Amino acid sequence: MALGKTLLGISALAFAVTATAPERIPLERTIEFAPAVSPASTAENVDLAAYQTEMFRIVSPLVFLRGEGAFDPRYDLVLIDAETAQVRPVAQNLPIEGLTYADLDAMDMEKLLAAFPEPARWSTRGDLMYETAGTIVVSDSSGFVKSRVLGDAWLQPWSPGAESFVYTRDGQLRIRSGTTERVVSGDASQPAWSATNKIAFVHGRDNAHLAVYDATSRRTLMTELHGHSPLWSPDGAWLAYLVPGERGDNLFIADSSFTARPVALGVSGVPEWAPDSSNIAVLRYYSGEQGPFAAADVYATDGTLAERIILAEGEGNAVATLDWQSALSYEVIHYDLERLREVQAELKTANIFTIPRIMEKARRVLTADIYVLR
């Protein structure tokens, strides 16, 4: 689950804040989302892996008018230069699964955002991991595919030296190195590999708890921590995880002895650690005097709030993902309900000649901006 797949105004709280102005990457193509900063980026040069999609993609106007499933949204994985906004494709024409035209017609933003793929995962060697159609793909930054395997990966799949990665298939926790792999546990999901060579994962389904597999000693420790979405700090000293609560997920942080403390209540999506492991950011939604807004709340490991960064303000906006490596990056997706109603009305009387014009208008229903905070 990517961070913050929800809308402004949901789970809103009252709080007064001061805005922080980010840099915006001006892109003029379709929808850009799920930016992930390259680990090789510097303060002067930021490269991002991101997805671009055309949500309103119609295979054939005639087939569409017949109602024969002509809706076929696709996306591309691209690299973006944050300084020049130049785009270079890595993988193209990947399918967006679990999304129907009825979802777009109803403008079900929760379902639209949930259908977007997770951000691509950079390795320290500069390789990219992404998932499509139930398949994990590892490629270099030019798009050359190095590995392809069926399964699911979580947000921290790489070993400390990036020679191996961890994933799950059919509930089995698997470690893959080159073309060989081994199974290390069953009934597992959401594995996260730390800098200290430990793999935290969710074990079980009902009342699931967190387990830790030591890839050096090859022993598994069943902790007393109950929750999901484990994420190690970059130095491997802290383990963040989420526990379901009355108003959404609550963020907890555990130390090396797996003693945990609550940090934040009612967060959206999964957290992001700061590169130096000193802070952790979560996405939260508030009601301000000028209307609803989304913010990244940055907490120290002792649970104190260090900073609040406004990401988006007002109705008609959504933040889908947040990434924090050498820079904090995110996208704000804007949706135009008035334009959508116009498209819906025109589609009721559409013919094969008017469909292209109507779909051109539909493409402007959803737009997005990518931002970088440095």
Which residue's structure tokens are 């005639």?
Answer: 62
Q: What is the pLDDT of residue 68?
A: 55
Label residue 6 by pLDDT band (50, 70, 90).
very low
Does 349 map to a domain? yes
pLDDT digits (tens, 9 = 90+) for 265-295: 888 878 999 999 999 999 888 887 777 888 8
CATH number of the domain that 94 lies in? 2.130.10.10
pLDDT digits (tens, 9 = 90+) for 175-222: 999 889 999 999 999 999 999 999 999 998 776 899 999 999 999 998
Q: Residue range 147-161: average pLDDT?
A: 95
pLDDT at 135 over 50: yes
Q: Residue range 3-10: average pLDDT?
A: 37
* Domain around 260: 6-373
Domain count along the chain = 1
Does 189 map to a domain? yes
For residue 369, CA distances in Å to 49, 52, 68 come to 14, 11, 33
Q: Calculate the CA 156 to chain-centre distance.
A: 12
Does 167 map to a domain? yes
Does 173 map to a domain? yes
Q: What is the pLDDT of residue 12?
A: 35
Q: What is the pLDDT of residue 23?
A: 79
User: In the predicted model, what is the mean pLDDT of the chain?
Assistant: 84
Does 1 map to a domain? no
Label residue 109 by pLDDT band (50, 70, 90).
low
Label residue 67 by pLDDT band (50, 70, 90).
low
